[in-house]
Amino acid sequence: MRRKFLGCLLFVSFLATSCDSKRVFDEYKSLPGHWHKDSAVTFTFQGLDTASTYNLFINIRNNNAYKYSNLFLVTKMNFPNGKVIADTLEYEMAYPNGEWMGTGFTDLKENKLWYKENVRFPEIGAYTIKIRHAMRQNGKVEGIEKLQGITEVGFRIEKGNE
């Protein structure tokens, strides 16, 4: 019985990973109940084909404690030679009626957010991307110190459309 269960588990694991043939890098980092405004979530990756193109995504998991319909992010990508590319991004997180965007059946939703399309990584070595939130309350200059409701931040690289 146990051997049969392990065989089924291995088969299901194989199916789950083989259906995701575009995935090159996919990692999540959990947050400790809030996302501090000065805390960047960092991902490091390497070994990408310098001649290929890739699509990049930021994955956000949020729950009902998230009070906003949008999300501002600041990213900094560090190249192996020291070059840095910084972006300020805004994403919609809810529909106008207040319903969460994303996938999931419970109060936890996952959003796969486009970051960059058809990107080449021309240098060999380790690349690092740092992601932090840049949320502010309307009319206030200071950022929200402890952003509630974001439970995990992920970064994903997929093979491009060559």
Q: In this predicted structure, what is the pLDDT of residue 69?
A: 94
Q: What is the pTM of this model?
A: 0.85
Q: Where are the alpha helices (DSSP H) in 93-137?
A: none
Residue linked to tokens 């404690």: 65
What is the side-by-side strand order in the sheet with 150-159?
23-30, 150-159, 54-62, 109-119
pLDDT, tens only, 93-103:
999 998 999 99
For residues 58, 156, 117, 24, the Cα torsion angle rounded to the nearest 10 degrees is 180
